[in-house]
């Protein structure tokens, strides 16, 4: 029985059956017994074990590429959004608020109605070391939300000195109410946040998993 020992970690699935360089040798009786025991204790998975991946969509936006939000967020088109929640640590930064406004206006135009918008971000330290006070950030974001004429909204700005779980998430959650009254949560993962999504000079990816 041949044996293969790789010098580096296995490459991504299907990128290559064997990553080079690799050593080819023979398996002795002891190792052969161990391998057979390992194989005999393995569990055969069904053919559709990876089928859940079919529910995942991904958009890769390159620098210079137009942001087709109607296509990416098509699931909210003409919908009744009970709550639109944005988790992005830097969307409240002074340099990013214009992009956040553009994004909210685009989703508002796409949906039939948005009842509530919640924004979660944190204070941001700029390249000069200056930090905009969290209450000032809240005030600016409240002004943006007020222009959307929502039924309600909520802004939470975490202070830099606050302890707790590290805030790195960049997601957009849309809870949609169907005609029968049922609610469905649609979640989008933004690798570069609202900033990169709305900046045509930047590269970014958006992932969406269908419920």
Predicted local distance difference test score (pLDDT) of residue 197: 97
**pLDDT at position 49 over 60:** no
Q: What is the pLDDT of residues 82-108, one digit of tens each?
A: 999 999 999 999 999 999 999 999 999
Q: What is the DSSP string of the chain?
A: -EEEEESSPPPSTTT-SSPSSEEEEE--HHHHHHHHHHHHT--PPPTTTTGGGGGEEEEEEPTT----HHHHTGGGTT-EEEEEEEE-TTTTSTTTHHHHHHHHHHHHHHSSEEEEEEEEEE--B-TTS-B--HHHHHHHHHHHHHTTT-SEEEEEEE-TT--SS-----EEEEEEE-TTS-EEEEEEEETTHHHHHH-TTS-EEEEEE--
160-178: average pLDDT: 81
**pLDDT at position 55 over 80:** no
Predicted local distance difference test score (pLDDT) of residue 71: 96
Q: What rounded mean pLDDT belongs to the chain?
A: 86
In the chain, domain spans: 2-40, 56-209
Chosen CATH of 56-209 out of 3.30.565.10, 3.40.920.10, 3.40.50.620, 3.30.870.30: 3.30.870.30
């Amino acid at each position: 029985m041949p044996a293969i020992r790789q010098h580096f970690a296995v490459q991504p699935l299907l990128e290559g059956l064997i990553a080079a360089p690799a050593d080819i040798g023979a398996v002795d009786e002891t190792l052969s017994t161990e391998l057979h025991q390992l194989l005999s204790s393995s569990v055969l998975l069904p053919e559709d074990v990876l089928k859940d991946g079919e529910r995942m969509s991904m958009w890769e936006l390159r620098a210079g590429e137009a942001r087709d939000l109607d296509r990416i967020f098509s699931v909210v088109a003409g919908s009744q959004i009970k709550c639109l929640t944005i988790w992005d640590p830097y969307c409240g930064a002074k340099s990013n608020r214009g992009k956040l406004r553009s994004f909210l206006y685009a989703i508002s135009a796409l949906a039939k109605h948005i009842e509530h918008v919640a924004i979660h971000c944190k204070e941001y330290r700029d390249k000069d070391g200056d930090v905009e006070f969290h209450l000032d950030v809240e005030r600016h974001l409240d002004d943006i939300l007020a222009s959307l004429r929502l039924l309600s909204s909520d802004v939470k700005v975490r202070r830099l000195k606050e302890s707790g779980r590290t805030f790195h998430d960049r997601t957009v959650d849309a809870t949609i109410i169907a005609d029968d009254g049922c609610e469905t949560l649609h979640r989008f993962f933004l690798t570069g946040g609202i900033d990169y999504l709305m900046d045509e000079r930047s590269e970014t990816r958006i992932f969406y998993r269908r419920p």
